[in-house]
Amino acid sequence: MKTKRAIVAGVLTALLIGGGTARAGFILRNDDQFTTSVLHDQGTLWDRSRLSILSGGGVNVLHAYGDSTVDMSAGASVGSLYAANDRVNISGGSVGIFYAYNRCAVTISGGSVGILRPEHNSTIDISDGQADQIETFDTSVLSVSGGRVNQYLTACDSSTVNVSGGMVGDLRGYDSSFVNISGGWVSGLSAEQTSTADISGGSLNGLRALGYTTVTFHARDYRVEGGLSLIGDRVVGTGILSGEWFDGTPWAVNIWGNASEARIWAVPEPATLGLLALGGLAIPRRRPAP
């Protein structure tokens, strides 16, 4: 009597022999490993199984669960990918829509993704390639160090978005999300509701702060133009805010939305704060007049 594992292995062998015309589905379990360069209608991974999709290969609908792994290379394709608590490595090819759940770990170093939605405690690292639309939810963490997001990147719930490189078309922060921009190029940032944003590098063209959001710039030599003014460290009004990042790179951003309940801060460099503190200690206190 054949075991379930032997039956699965036989099915995979038949699929491989079928060549480019094979379009049957497959199921991987336990430690099964499957490498394909043909198209399949459906595929499901469980346990510690691994799927490698090479050039010319693809799956219309792919489900990955458990501690499984999906590897995609140049020329591969997946129509819809649903991954939960597993690893997905995309170095090339294309994915139409990608849902990542439950501590899913995703690495994108090439290729393209149409719609990407990480949820729960998933982590996404993008170093190259491109995505059209990204929405992060729950406590997921998405980091962009290269590549580009063509249309928009939206952070929702308590998710975190880190941009240290690459290009992002439209970056939005909602709910209690956190956005950190330390490099790269961002067309515009819209911070709303109770979201938080820290900006310490890169290029940001436009900023809109609405609701009870907090946006903090970490730089030096701040200058204001138009209707902007600095009251202490707080930026009030709308207009152009410019300065230098701590590495000496000049920057400027058009603040075109600044709600009264929002807070935009222009925090000076730590060294300046330290000198001010030391200077304060050096000033002797005056004795009260008798």
The predicted pLDDT at position 6 comes to 36
Identity of the residue numbered 274: G
- Answer yes or no: is 233 within a domain: yes
Q: Residue 14's pLDDT is what?
A: 34
Measured CA to CA, the distance from residue 69 to residue 89 in angstroms comes to 8
CA distance 26 to 242: 56
Which backbone phi and psi does 29 adopt, to 5 degrees? -135, 170
Residue 259 falls inside a structural domain? yes
Query: How confident is the model at residue 131, as a pLDDT?
Result: 98
Does any domain span residue 182? yes
- Please state, in angstroms and rounded to a whole number, the distance separating the CA atoms of residues 63 and 72: 14
Q: Is residue 169 part of a domain?
A: yes
Domains held by the chain: number: 1
* 3 occurs within a structural domain: no
Low-confidence ranges of the chain (pLDDT < 50): 1-20, 22, 271-290
This prediction's pTM: 0.86
Give the pLDDT confidence score for residue 270 in this predicted structure.
66
Let me know how many helices (H) and strands (E) the chain has, helices first.
2, 23
Tokens (6 digits) for 70: 């999906």
Domain that holds residue 129: 119-270
In a domain, 4, yes or no: no
CA 285 to chain centre: 51
Q: How far apart are CA 68 and CA 88, in angstroms?
A: 9
Label residues 256-266 b or e (16+ Cβ within 10 Å = b): ebbeeebbbeb
Residue 82 within a domain: no
